[in-house]
Amino acid sequence: MRSRFSISNYSNLAQRVITALIGAAVIIGSTIFSEWAYFFVFAILLGFTQMEFYKLSGLDGMLPLKSFGTFVGLLIFAFTFLEEMKIIPIAYYFLVFPLLSMIFFIKLYRKSDKKPFTGIAYTILGIFYVAIPFSLLTVAAFSVDNTFHFEIVIGSLLILWASDSGAYFAGTKFGKTKLFERVSPKKSWEGSLGGAFTAIVVTYFISKNFTVLPEWQWFCIMTIIIIAGTYGDLIESLFKRSIAIKDSGKGLPGHGGFMDRFDGLLLSTPFIVAFLKIF
């Protein structure tokens, strides 16, 4: 029998709101609290997201090294954080290369794997698609004065969430013109414009309160998130469509899986870091 207070008893919209509020509170609270709280929470998010990617790959007949690939991804994230904190030298990154080579050795001894190089490719793809962007978010957080600035992480996430939420509600209410029907039939230009408007409003307030970056840089980050975030959503839809599933998982009630929630972040972060490092 289901619990009387189970979140599954609520409508999809209610589940979406409840999950978003709890998730946002945990992420924002930990990021503001300390660098180490940020590290542990985002390491957990990275682990769940990467394992979910490997699980979905398995549905399409691929055999990636789920545990080992996630371990390497978490190690890259840890090395990035510790190097930015000046706890370890950057030379430790060179340990990643022999670990990546180990993927080939492990697959060599998997007798049941009929297409080992496909599994190798998907294992490495999971690291680059999920672990690298999460690690680059840490680089972004330390991009000003080599000091951890929670404002950059929270500001970027708030813009992303505003864009996603605005697109969801505007698309649900006004969506008629298809954005990319071949990949995602439900996404519309009206939803995208609603998301962009919401992102602009939120970015304005962020730029006035998070002065670690000048106003023009916040609006450049917003532009990156709107464009790259939309493509990130479409690319994840293409991935799910290729294996004939609707949601990447059920870990986040009302939202689907972790990849459904962080797909925009995965493609936005590399561009944000490149922008902050260059400008």
The pLDDT value recorded for residue 10 is 62
In the chain, pLDDT over 90 holds for what percent of residues?
61
**Distance from C-alpha of 69 to C-alpha of 47, rounded to nearest angstrom:** 10
Read off the tokens for 8: 């599954």
**Distance from C-alpha of 240 to C-alpha of 183, rounded to nearest angstrom:** 9
* Mean predicted confidence (pLDDT) in 206-231: 95
Residue 5 has pLDDT above 70, yes or no: no
pLDDT winner (highest mean) among 52-66, 137-151, 254-268: 137-151
Confidence of residue 174 (pLDDT cuts 50, 70, 90): confident
* Mean predicted confidence (pLDDT) in 186-200: 91
Collect all residues with Cβ–Cβ distance below 8 Å to 269 and sequence separation of at least 6.
Answer: 133, 134, 136, 137, 140, 156
Read off the tokens for 151: 């404002």
85-111 confidence digits (pLDDT tens): 999 999 999 999 999 999 999 998 887
Query: Which residue in the block uniquely carries the two structure tokens 């929270």?
Result: 154
Cβ atoms of 243 and 60 within 8 Å: the answer is yes
27-39 confidence digits (pLDDT tens): 999 999 999 999 9
Backbone angles phi, psi at 207, to 5 degrees: -65, -25
228 or 58, which is more confident: 228
If you average pLDDT over every residue of the chain, what do you get? Answer: 88
**Distance from C-alpha of 92 to C-alpha of 194, rounded to nearest angstrom:** 44
Provide the β-strand partners of residue 188: 178
CA distance to 41, 142, 167, 177, 230, per residue, from 254 (Å): 21, 33, 16, 24, 19
The pLDDT value recorded for residue 252 is 60
The pLDDT value recorded for residue 263 is 86
Read off the tokens for 26: 């945990």
Residue 1 has pLDDT above 50, yes or no: no
Cβ atoms of 247 and 241 within 8 Å: the answer is no
Q: What is the pTM of this model?
A: 0.90
